[in-house]
């Protein structure tokens, strides 16, 4: 019974390096928050507000990492990655819970006020719906629930993750004031993951390196165009003017448009695919209903 809670051990009870890395990653935001008062003056001014933002940010990051595990394990031919997907998904839920509790604390525990704001402010309503979705996934993440629901129904339900990440992204964009650099980068990366998902849907084989390259080029272009339209609307200028600034790259301050980073990340995946295919290891198979429980969770 107790071995169930030894998260650093795999299904056979052996110490797992992968799980230890995942646990370190999951606790990293807490370590960063604990050291924040020493590292930033801004933190001390409004600590609860800062912590609310941090928890929301990491909830979104872990949702995205959960989403990235299937493409990564297939492209890297590293099937073992699936072992930490459930852990990271539940971690995302825990950060979302912390995000909401910190928000309530920030409002001096006036729960009625928080509830009213969720009803009245669209970006909070969207965040709330995303949270309900995450709760459904967390509650059904146990082996017992997988058994009870059956493989196919469980998988269908867990496809909610795609809707949840979109809601969380809209929530992120809507609360962002003027600087949309980070949300644009994250939207580009999520766009790549959703594009990959659409590409493999209904296909028996895996997408080729060329298809991954095509996806990367399309998503990069969309990231540049989307950012240009957003900035043009915010600053009352034309998207074309903004697009012309795409090549203003300041390497000294690492000031580059998010589209370039999306391109770099996509190209890294293509290189990974080419390298791994040369090593001729069979790819990890796509999850199907008859998979063992550990594989699905
Ligand atoms: C009941 C549900 C939720 C409420 C009431 C809520 C509330 C908030 C509030 C008050 C902010 C700060 C806004 C500001 O200072 O102007 C925020 C930011 C944010 N929230 Fe939520 N949220 C909810 C759900 C979620 C969920 C489910 C996620 C992700 C999975 C999420 C991710 C974020 C992110 C990424 C930010 C921006 C963080 C940053 O500044 O880097 N939120 N949310």
Q: Is the CB of 128 under 6 A from ligand 1?
A: yes
Q: Say if residues 65 and 89 touch (Cβ distance below 8 Å).
A: no
Distance of CA 156 to the CA centre of its chain: 19
Measured over the CA atoms of residue 122, residue 127, residue 128 and residue 130, the dihedral's sign is positive
Task: Tell which wins on pLDDT, 2 or 221.
Answer: 221
Write down the pLDDT at residue 123. Answer: 96
Tens digits of residue pLDDT in 114-173: 999 999 999 999 999 999 999 999 999 999 999 999 989 999 999 999 999 999 999 999
CA of 211 to the centre of ligand 1 (A): 35
- pTM for this prediction: 0.90
Pocket lining: 74 vs ligand 1, CB cutoff 6 Å? no
Closest C-alpha to ligand 1, atom 33: 56
The best mutation among 126, 132, 175 to test binding of ligand 1, ranked by most ligand atoms within 8 Å of the C-beta, falls on: 175
Confidence (pLDDT) at 255: 76
**Tens digit of pLDDT for each residue in 84-101?**
999 999 999 999 999 999
251 pLDDT above the threshold of 80:
no
Whether 124 is in the pocket of ligand 1, judged by its Cβ within 6 Å, is yes
- In this prediction, residues 186-214 reach a mean pLDDT of 93
From the alpha carbon of 164, which atom of ligand 1 is closest?
Answer: 30
Residue-level pLDDT at 294 = 44
Residue 181 CA, ligand 1 centroid: distance in Å: 17
Number of helical (H) and strand (E) elements in the chain, helices listed first: 14, 0
Reading the block at residue 114, the tokens are 């928080």
CA of 241 to the centre of ligand 1 (A): 32
Query: How far apart are the CA of 103 and the centre of ligand 1, in A?
Result: 8
Q: CB of 172 closer than 6 A to ligand 1?
A: yes
Identify the pLDDT of residue 52: 96
pLDDT score at 282: 59
Q: Which residue has the tokens 């990271």?
A: 88
Atom in ligand 1 nearest the alpha carbon of residue 182: 41
- Selection from 250, 130, 265 nearest residue 195 by Cα: 265
Q: Give the pLDDT score at 297.
A: 37
Q: How confident is the model at residue 285 (pLDDT cuts 50, 70, 90)?
A: low
**What pLDDT shows up at residue 40?**
73
pLDDT digits (tens, 9 = 90+) for 3-41: 566 888 888 888 899 999 999 999 999 999 999 888 776
Selection from 29, 75, 86, 85 nearest residue 52 by Cα: 29
Average pLDDT over residues 171-191: 92
**SS3 track for 242-262:** HHHHHHCCECCCCECCHHHHH
């Amino acid at each position: 019974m107790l071995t169930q809670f030894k998260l650093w051990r795999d299904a056979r009870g052996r110490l797992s390096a992968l799980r230890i890395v995942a646990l370190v990653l999951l606790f990293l935001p807490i370590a960063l928050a604990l050291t924040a008062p020493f590292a930033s003056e801004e933190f001390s001014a409004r600590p609860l507000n800062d912590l609310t933002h941090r928890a929301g940010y990491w909830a979104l990051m872990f949702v995205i990492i959960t989403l990235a595990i299937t493409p990564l394990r297939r492209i890297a031919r590293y099937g073992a990655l699936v072992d930490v997907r459930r852990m990271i998904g539940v971690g995302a839920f825990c950060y979302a819970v912390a995000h909401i509790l910190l928000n309530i604390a920030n409002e001096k525990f006036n729960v009625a006020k928080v509830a009213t704001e969720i009803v009245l402010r669209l970006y909070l309503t969207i965040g709330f719906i995303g949270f309900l979705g995450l709760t459904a996934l967390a509650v059904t993440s146990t082996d017992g629930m997988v058994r009870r629901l059956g493989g196919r129904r469980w998988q269908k339900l867990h496809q909610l993750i795609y809707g949840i990440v979109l809601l969380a992204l809209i929530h992120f964009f809507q609360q962002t004031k003027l600087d949309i650099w980070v949300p644009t980068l994250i939207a580009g990366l999520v766009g790549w993951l959703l594009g990959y998902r659409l590409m493999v849907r209904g296909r028996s084989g895996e997408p080729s390196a060329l298809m991954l390259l095509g996806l990367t080029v399309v998503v990069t272009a969309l990231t540049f165009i989307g950012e240009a339209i957003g900035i043009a609307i915010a600053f009352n200028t034309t998207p074309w003017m903004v697009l012309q600034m795409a090549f203003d790259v300041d390497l000294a301050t690492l000031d580059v448009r998010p589209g370039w980073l999306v391109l770099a990340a996509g190209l890294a995946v293509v290189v990974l695919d080419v390298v791994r295919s040369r090593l001729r290891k069979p790819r990890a198979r796509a999850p199907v209903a008859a998979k063992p429980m550990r594989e699905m969770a």
